[in-house]
Amino acid sequence: MNIIESERCRLPLALQPSELLIDDDCPLCVMSAQEAAAGISIGFQHFDGSHMDEDFAFSFYQTREEWEEEKRRREEFDRDFNRRRKEREARIAAGENPAIVDAALGFDYASEFGESEDLSGPRLVG
């Protein structure tokens, strides 16, 4: 629990040189471990959420209720998105203009994907 709380507070957790050696055959891992052992550099542990279970214990939510609400919201979003994606593919396959289909189905790439650049056009992201 201390590690999770430290990560939530963004407190750096220094690694031992041996912990930096993830792969003996990786030159960067070996170099990082050697530099840390020599006192030249330091490595920090961090969690980016990749390759982690989606269980509450590994979440960034303070309460199980918050986690369950987010899980329900995400599942609802995924169902709706997948329904619209299938409809989009069917309509485009039937010969409709992709830009018109996107507008009709409410695909707004910038707002749905948090992108600031223009992602308009016939491609579906995600």
The pLDDT of residue 124 is: 45
Say if 108 falls within a structural domain: no
Question: Could you tell me if residue 90 is inside a domain?
Answer: no
Residue 70 placed within a domain: yes
Residue 104 resides in a domain: no
111 in any annotated domain: no
Tell me the chain's radius of gyration from C-alpha atoms.
22
Is the confidence at residue 120, as pLDDT, over 50?
no
Digit-coded pLDDT (tens) for 87-118? 999 999 999 998 888 888 887 754 544 444 44
Residue range 50-81, pLDDT digits in tens:
666 788 877 878 899 999 999 999 999 999 99
More confident: 121 or 83? 83
Tell me whether residue 68 is in a domain.
yes
Q: How many domains does the chain have?
A: 1
Burial of 102-125, coded b for 16+ CB within 10 Å and e otherwise, reads beeeebebeeeeeeeeeeeeeebe
By mean pLDDT, which of 15-29, 36-50, 96-110, 112-126 is the weakest?
Answer: 112-126
- Within a domain: 100: no
Whether residue 113 is contained in a domain is answered as no
**In this predicted structure, what is the pLDDT of residue 74?**
93
Q: Supply the pTM of this predicted model.
A: 0.47
Domain of residue 51 covers 2-81
